[in-house]
Amino acid sequence: MIPPPDPIPPLVDDEADDLDVPEAGAGGGEVVRIALGPDLAGQRLDKALATAAPDLSRARLQALIAAGQVSLVVEGAAPRPMADGKAKAPAGVYTVLVPPPIAAEPEPEAIPLAVLYEDAHLIVIDKPPGMAAHPAPGCETGTLVNALLFHCGASLSGIGGVARPGIVHRLDKETSGVMVAAKTDAAHQGLSALFARHDIDRMYLALVRGAPQPPAATITTQLGRSPGDRKKMAVLKSGGREAITHYRVEKTFGGDRPMAARVACRLETGRTHQIRVHLASKGSPCLGDPVYGAGAPAAPVKAALSEIGFSRQALHAAVLGFVHPITGETLRFETPLPPDMAALEVALEAL
C-alpha cells in the first residue's frame, strides 16, 4: 500500500500590574483587559502585552493588533485602536478582543463548484481565483475543502487529514485553474503516487512582464525557503529541492520590444510557487504578483492593470492530465483563461 502523503507545510505564523477576568465580546469572543505599568511602558507593544498577558502569545497579539482588535482605553474618550505592534507601548489599560476559537474540523459550505468531471473516486474542478485549497490561519472558511465537504459529503477521502480531506495537490489561493481531489482513500493513494512520480501533465498560462529570453527553454534550479523571508520561496545556490519548469512564449504584446507576454509553462516538478519564482528569476514575473513581481511594468501595462483592477498573479492552471488511479482511463482537462485574465489579455493586445 502506498503510504499517505506527508502533510503540506503552510507557507501560510517585566510583570503585569493587573489582568482582569475576560468579558464577553461581540460575536462570542472575549474582551481581555491588560494594564501596562511604567515598568513595561516604552517596550514594543506586542512584547509588553505578551509579557503582561502570558495566556496570549506574542504572535497571536501581533495578529490581533494587525486586525484592529487591540485598543488603548483613553479616559473620557473613545478607545484608541493600536495599529503597530512595533511601536512603543504607552502606559495604561488596553482592551484586546479575542475572537471565539475556530472549530477544529472544517464545516461544509454551500459554495458553487465548476465541476469538470466526477465519479465515485475523484472530482475535478476549475478553481476560481481567490479560493484557498484548504483552511489555514487567517483563511478558515470559504475554501475548496469547505465546498467539497458540502458537495461530496461523507465520501470525501480522509487521508489528507482533518483539515485537508481529499486534497492531493494545491494551487495558490489567487491562482485559478484545474484541480483534482480524491473522494476515496484508494484514489487518494493512487493520485498521490502519480504526483510523487511527476506522472501528471500540467500546463499553466501566465501573463508576464516583458518576455523571458530565450523564447523557449527549461529552467532547472534548487528551490527553497528564502533566507531573507521565510514566507517566500527563492532560487538557492545550495540546499532546497530540484525544480524544473519548461516554458514557451506563446505571444508577445507591445511591439518589437515586448512589454508583456503570454507564456505556457509545463511542470516537471511541483514545488511551492515554482512557476512564479522561476518566471521572476528570468526577469519576467507574473503580472500582478504581489510577492514576486518586484519592479513596475511598463506604463501602458501598469495602466491596463489599473483599468481592469487586476491585483493577483496572472497565472492559470489550464491543463491537467493523468491516468485515473482506479479505472486506468486517460483523463485530460483544459480550461480557458478566467474572465479577469482574459480581459487583461485583451487589454495587452491593444498595446
Residues with active-site annotation: 172
DSSP 8-class letter at 89: P
- Count of CB atoms within 10 A of residue 266's CB? 16
| 152 residue type, one letter | C
Strand 176-182 versus strand 122-127 pairing type: antiparallel
Asked if 67 and 21 touch (Cβ cutoff 8 Å), the reply is no
DSSP 8-class letter at 155: G
Q: Extract the C-alpha cell encoding 312.
A: 493577483
Residue 12 CB contacts under 8 Å (≥ 6 apart), including other chains:
136, 137, 138, 139, 231
Q: Extract the C-alpha cell encoding 350.
A: 491593444
Strand 229-236 versus strand 216-226 pairing type: antiparallel
Three-state DSSP state, 157 = coil
Asked if 90 and 41 touch (Cβ cutoff 8 Å), the reply is yes
As a whole number of angstroms, the distance between CA 111 and CA 334 comes to 22
- Among residues 109, 120, 191, 99, the alpha carbon closest in space to that of 146 is found at 109
Phi and psi at residue 191, to the nearest 5°: -65, -40
Asked if 191 and 264 touch (Cβ cutoff 8 Å), the reply is no
- Among residues 94, 66, 64, the alpha carbon closest in space to that of 79 is found at 94
CA neighbours closer than 13 Å in the CB half-sphere of residue 234 = 12
Strand 176-182 versus strand 315-323 pairing type: parallel
